[in-house]
Amino acid sequence: MARVVVDVMPKPEILDPQGQAVAGALPRLGFHGVRDVRQGKHFELDVDDSVDDDTLDKIAEGFLSNPVIEDFVVRRVDQ
């Protein structure tokens, strides 16, 4: 069994209203110095050792993200 992380983020050129809402609210809460915030999705998958990297990329691209507006990063992590 392996643990895989997939992080899905809006493409840089895509407007990120959620991230902007967070960045805008932080100074009002007394937190200064945060220049930019972007918000995306974080997936943690437990997969059999039979699942190879190519399959993980297909899952990330075809199912966990929308390739038109999002980028993804797949990482195998130590358990």
- Site for a copy of itself, rule CB under 8 A: 1, 7-9, 19, 22, 25-26, 29, 31-48, 50-51, 55, 58-59, 62-64
Instruction: Work out how close the CB of 15 gets to a copy of itself at its nearest, in angstroms, rounded to a whole number.
Output: 15
Question: Nearest CA to 10 among 46, 38, 51?
Answer: 38
Instruction: Work out how close the CB of 13 gets to a copy of itself at its nearest, in angstroms, rounded to a whole number.
Output: 15
- Structure token pair of residue 25: 């609210």
Instruction: Work out how close the CB of 60 gets to a copy of itself at its nearest, in angstroms, rounded to a whole number.
Output: 11
Q: Which is nearer to a copy of itself, 17 or 33 (CB)?
A: 33
Q: Which is nearer to a copy of itself, 58 or 76 (CB)?
A: 58
The sign of the CA dihedral 46, 47, 52, 58 is negative
> Any idea how long the chain is?
79
Please state the separation of Cα 78 from the chain's center in Å. 18
